[in-house]
């Protein structure tokens, strides 16, 4: 949904960002993603409200996880999102604006260590 105010268009999500982050984490858990973390970035940055970070046990698994997240976005009729990294299959980013899902191979997750950049963020670990 978009609202117009003062000639500017503002994106308004159809779903609460916390709920979307948890739906993504649940979908990843159902599909055997590993080490799933939800970082609450509200008040820390304007980039996004939440990061959902998870690891896959292979490149094939990584691609399957990304496809499941994309299917979830379509199923809930998310109006805007984009997915990057499907070619290299090391780090896939599914950007739903208020929620960004980061999917990694174990090696890429260790190398980029994005959780360390957000050390002040509250973290929920999904098991």
For residue 97, tell me if it sits in a domain.
yes
In this prediction, residue 12 has a pLDDT band, given cuts at 50, 70 and 90, of low
Parent domain of 108: 25-126
C-alpha 92/C-alpha 103 separation (Å) is 5
For residue 106, tell me if it sits in a domain.
yes
Convert the pLDDT of each residue in 68-104 to its tens digit. 999 999 999 998 899 999 999 999 999 999 999 999 9
For residue 16, tell me if it sits in a domain.
no
Quote the tokens at residue 33: 């993603």
For residue 20, tell me if it sits in a domain.
no
For residue 99, tell me if it sits in a domain.
yes
For residue 60, tell me if it sits in a domain.
yes
For residue 14, tell me if it sits in a domain.
no
pLDDT of residue 13: 54
Number of domains in the chain: 1
C-alpha 67/C-alpha 38 separation (Å) is 19
For residue 64, tell me if it sits in a domain.
yes
CATH code for the domain in which residue 48 is found: 3.30.460.10
C-alpha 67/C-alpha 23 separation (Å) is 14
Residue 10 has pLDDT above 60, yes or no: no
């Amino acid at each position: 949904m978009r609202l117009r105010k003062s000639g500017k268009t503002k994106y308004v999500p159809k779903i609460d960002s916390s709920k979307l982050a948890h739906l993504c984490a649940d979908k990843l858990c159902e599909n055997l993603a590993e080490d799933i973390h939800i970082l609450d970035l509200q008040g820390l940055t304007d980039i996004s409200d939440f990061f959902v970070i998870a690891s896959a046990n292979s490149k094939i698994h990584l691609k399957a996880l990304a496809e499941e997240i994309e299917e979830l976005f379509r199923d809930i009729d998310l109006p805007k999102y984009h997915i990057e990294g499907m070619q290299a299959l090391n780090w896939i980013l599914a950007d739903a604006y208020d929620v960004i899902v980061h999917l990694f191979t174990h090696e890429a997750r260790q190398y980029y260590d994005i959780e360390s950049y957000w050390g002040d963020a509250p973290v929920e670990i999904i098991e």
